[in-house]
Amino acid sequence: FAADYYHHPIGAVINHALPPALRAGRAPPATHETAWRLTALGSEEARRPSARRGARQTAVLKNLAEARLLGSRELAARGVAPAYLKRLATRGWIEPCELPTAAAAPPERRAPTLTLTADQAAALQAIEAEAQGFAAFLLHGITGSGKTEIFLRLIATVLDRDRQTLLLVPEIGLTPQLVGRLRERFGDALVVLHSALTQRERLAAWRKAQTGEAMLVVGTRSAVFAPLPRAGLVIVDEEHDASYKQQEGFRYSARDLAVARARGLGVRVVLASATPSLESLHNAASGRYKLLRLPRRIGAAGPPAFRVIDLKKHATRQGLSTPLLASIDAHLGRGNQVILFLNRRGFAPALFCPQCLTAEECDRCDARLTVHARTGTLLCHHCGRERPLRWACERCGTERIGVGAGTERVTDVLRSLYPDRQIARLDRDVVSRRGALDAVLEDVARGATQILVGTQMLTKGHDFPRVTLVGVLNADQGLFGTDFRSNERLAQTIVQVAGRAGRRDQPGEVVIQTSFPEHPLLQSLLDADYTAFAALALEERRHASWPPFSHLAVWRAEAPARARVFEFLTKLREHAAHHADAVQILGPAPAPLERSRGRYRAQLLFQSRARNALQTHIAATLAAVRGWREARRVRWSIDIDPVEI
């Protein structure tokens, strides 16, 4: 299904679905005992009169005919040596196989002590009511509403029926708390599958899923392909997360495949999020998914209070406005913690020469280089190319300036303003050091860190009890994006990061800095909530015929020579347009970042109201393209249901 749907070679898909060690031909760990069973010939022989055989042979055949299959240890106990078994095997009477493990003994589960809230109980009951066959649910629960607790209960009942659960999460490293809670409840029945494991560990975990020894398989994107011989339930946590879509090679959506897989297995699938994707909300509205809502937080904490600060009216100091600083003082003064979100790592996003009036650019990409002061480098965030940082301009020698602020710079300012506080940073630069991620999260969790500055990583399901203030330093980066999904992403980011504030008894406050306080997107978030925003955004999508009201595919091409790219895509467009009644073709247009890693990139957009029409069209076009000379001069790819265009 995945190969057809994403128009990707089936061999490559299968390859992707297997653990790397298995692809390399390595044998899976021999955790299992060999067993023996009768072959067809052996069964026939066992039914024949015993006269022509020795008594020993007859006994073994009879034993196997009765037991269907016996482990080599059991056979040894009955006095049958391995050598003897081999001899019977060469006669073609018996064959070795693997002794299936008895279902792993259910771990000693700690009995749940919490009493479910009425909302939780209703959601759980609705899911339990459909325990037979395929059914899809969208669990829309605000942050801290008790979604995870529902997962735990569901997994437990599935386990009681001796069935496996597959739980997909966006990133394992960022959710140690979730894995901790699962381990505490389910112990050894749990295996974790993700790319940071060694090849050996990954193969071992995969095998446990395959033998059914692992009753709970938790993993990231590619775990959607884990073998599940006794599947009972599939859960996709944070279903809106863009990391479920693989962005290169085999461009699949693990969320969408999870639904397809659950349908194939005939089991339930639960998609959960505090900020569901517009696609999933639309599927719920049209009745394909059952919508379950948890609109309230657990405990005393109500929803956080939102406040917008107009950057046109308030001066900022490296991205921090005076009212925000006043709020930080107040919350720290009450002994609480503060989280500041800025989607920009490094010290400054540009290195500017006031004399030449130019900013340093990457020579391979259409992008400015980011100043990374800690490592003393200039870094291209697109291709990763690094250069030593020199403040003096290479042309005129003038001292250059870092324009704008990234997480490094904000951290520096805060350290000078709050010398007595512990301030930490969380972004990809920090976590590239081994163990750093866990250390940062732990310090925040136990209250040692008072201010945490970070990027998108902050938005993932952390549960820090003493965080009461969340500041969004610059909402404008997302307000005017070129992608039709920019608004949705920004709303999700704001709501998710806001969800870190006031998760216990103390009320939370969320401060958003923007130069466009009147923007309707921000207003809809402030006035009501994500549901109101989503309704508005879906209406816009309907008018503009964007997904989920149409289906998209992007045909991308890139090459060192720009002309080759357009030559290919223009030919493709002409060819495709001939037989495209139900499909609209837009482009070719340069990619948002046209030159990257020294290659020019452009794309054709295919759009249709009918998914089948689009799929048929792509398949037909693909068949023609494979023979073209122009196609061999570029690198091309097809992206079905792209998350970025």
Q: Which residues pair with 217 in a beta bridge?
A: 166, 191
Identify which of residues 120 and 456 has a Cβ nearer to ligand ADP in the complex. Answer: 120
Identify which of residues 600 and 606 has a Cβ nearer to Zn ion in the complex. Answer: 600
- Choosing from 147, 221, 466, 485, the residue that interacts with ligand ADP (CB under 6 A) is 147
- Choosing from 8, 19, 35, 146, the residue that interacts with ligand ADP (CB under 6 A) is 146
222: exposed, middle or buried (C-beta count within 10 Å: 0-12, 13-18, 19+)? buried
Q: What is the smallest separation between the CB atom of 114 and ligand ADP, expressed in angstroms?
A: 4
- How far out from the chain centre does Cα 412 lie? 31
> Rule CB under 6 A: which of 292-311 touch ligand ADP?
298
> Quick check: 445 binds ligand ADP (CB under 6 A)?
no
Instruction: State the Cα–Cα distance between residues 460 and 179, nearest whole angstrom.
Output: 14
Q: Select the span of 138-146, 228-236, 365-373, 470-478 touching ligand ADP (CB under 6 A).
A: 138-146
Q: How many residues bind ligand ADP (CB under 6 A)?
A: 15
- Choosing from 57, 145, 164, 275, the residue that interacts with ligand ADP (CB under 6 A) is 145
Identify which of residues 114 and 619 has a Cβ nearer to ligand ADP in the complex. Answer: 114
Q: Select the span of 223-231, 357-365, 528-536, 547-555 touching Zn ion (CB under 5 A).
A: 357-365
HSE-up of 561 (CA within 13 Å, CB side)?
Answer: 7
Instruction: State the Cα–Cα distance between residues 450 and 443, nearest whole angstrom.
Output: 9
Please say whether the dihedral angle defined by the alpha carbons of residues 59, 60, 63 and 68, taken in this order, is positive or negative.
negative
Identify which of residues 141 and 212 has a Cβ nearer to ligand ADP in the complex. Answer: 141
H or E stretch at 387 = strand 386-388
* Interacting partner of 117 out of ligand ADP, Zn ion, none (Cβ under 5 to 8 A depending on kind): ligand ADP
* Interacting partner of 213 out of ligand ADP, Zn ion, none (Cβ under 5 to 8 A depending on kind): none
Q: Which residues of 402-440 are buried (b: 16+ CB within 10 A; e: fewer)?
A: bebbbbbbbbbbbeebbeeeebbbbbebbbeeeeebeeb
Q: What is the smallest separation between the CB atom of 425 and Zn ion, expressed in angstroms?
A: 24
Provide DSSP, 18-75. S-HHHHTTPPPP--S-EEEEE-HHHHHHHHS-GGGS-HHHHHHHHHHHHHS-EEHHHH
> Rule CB under 6 A: which of 509-538 touch ligand ADP?
none
* Interacting partner of 538 out of Zn ion, ligand ADP, none (Cβ under 5 to 8 A depending on kind): none
The residue length of the chain stands at: 645
* Interacting partner of 141 out of Zn ion, ligand ADP, none (Cβ under 5 to 8 A depending on kind): ligand ADP
Identify which of residues 23 and 382 has a Cβ nearer to Zn ion in the complex. Answer: 382
> Rule CB under 6 A: which of 395-414 touch ligand ADP?
none
Q: What is the smallest separation between the CB atom of 146 and ligand ADP, expressed in angstroms?
A: 4
In angstroms, what CA-CA distances link 443 with 284, 462, 463, 464, 621?
39, 13, 13, 10, 54
- Cβ neighbour number for residue 197 with a 10 Å cutoff: 19
> Rule CB under 5 A: which of 154-173 touch Zn ion?
none
Contact 346, 371 (CB under 8 A): yes
Q: What are the DSSP E strand ranges found in 515-616? A: 551-559, 583-596, 599-608
- Choosing from 109, 307, 382, 421, the residue that interacts with Zn ion (CB under 5 A) is 382
> Rule CB under 6 A: which of 104-133 touch ligand ADP?
114-117, 120
Identify which of residues 220 and 496 has a Cβ nearer to ligand ADP in the complex. Answer: 496
> Quick check: 213 binds ligand ADP (CB under 6 A)?
no
Please say whether the dihedral angle defined by the alpha carbons of residues 180, 219, 175 and 262, taken in this order, is positive or negative.
negative
132: exposed, middle or buried (C-beta count within 10 Å: 0-12, 13-18, 19+)? exposed
* Interacting partner of 383 out of ligand ADP, Zn ion, none (Cβ under 5 to 8 A depending on kind): Zn ion
- Cβ neighbour number for residue 193 with a 10 Å cutoff: 26
Instruction: State the Cα–Cα distance between residues 276 and 375, nearest whole angstrom.
Output: 38
- Choosing from 2, 61, 80, 149, the residue that interacts with ligand ADP (CB under 6 A) is 149
Q: Which amino acid is at 633?
A: R
Identify which of residues 83 and 118 has a Cβ nearer to ligand ADP in the complex. Answer: 118
For residue 238, which phi and psi values (nearest 5 degrees)? 50, 55
Give which of 641, 594, 549, 548 is closest to 242, Cα–Cα. Answer: 641
Q: Are strands 268-273 and 231-236 parallel, antiparallel or unpaired?
A: parallel
Instruction: State the Cα–Cα distance between residues 387 and 397, nearest whole angstrom.
Output: 17
Please give the structure tokens belonging to residue 231: 């599947």
* Interacting partner of 171 out of ligand ADP, Zn ion, none (Cβ under 5 to 8 A depending on kind): none
* Interacting partner of 120 out of ligand ADP, Zn ion, none (Cβ under 5 to 8 A depending on kind): ligand ADP
- Choosing from 179, 330, 383, 613, the residue that interacts with Zn ion (CB under 5 A) is 383
* Interacting partner of 537 out of Zn ion, ligand ADP, none (Cβ under 5 to 8 A depending on kind): none
* Interacting partner of 382 out of Zn ion, ligand ADP, none (Cβ under 5 to 8 A depending on kind): Zn ion
For residue 380, which phi and psi values (nearest 5 degrees)? -90, 120
> Quick check: 380 binds Zn ion (CB under 5 A)?
yes
Please give the structure tokens belonging to residue 492: 């999700």
> Quick check: 67 binds ligand ADP (CB under 6 A)?
no
Q: What is the smallest separation between the CB atom of 370 and Zn ion, expressed in angstroms?
A: 10
For residue 563, which phi and psi values (nearest 5 degrees)? -60, -40
- Choosing from 127, 138, 148, 226, the residue that interacts with ligand ADP (CB under 6 A) is 148
Q: Select the span of 359-367, 399-407, 430-438, 559-567 touching Zn ion (CB under 5 A).
A: 359-367
> Quick check: 164 binds ligand ADP (CB under 6 A)?
no
Q: What is the smallest separation between the CB atom of 507 and ligand ADP, expressed in angstroms?
A: 16
Q: What is the smallest separation between the CB atom of 265 and Zn ion, expressed in angstroms?
A: 43
* Interacting partner of 380 out of Zn ion, ligand ADP, none (Cβ under 5 to 8 A depending on kind): Zn ion
Nearby residues of 20 by Cβ (< 8 Å), 6 or more positions away: 199, 202
Identify which of residues 190 and 298 has a Cβ nearer to ligand ADP in the complex. Answer: 298
Give residues in contact with Zn ion (CB under 5 A).
Answer: 362, 364-365, 380, 382-383, 385
Give residues in contact with ligand ADP (CB under 6 A).
Answer: 114-117, 120, 141, 143-149, 298, 463
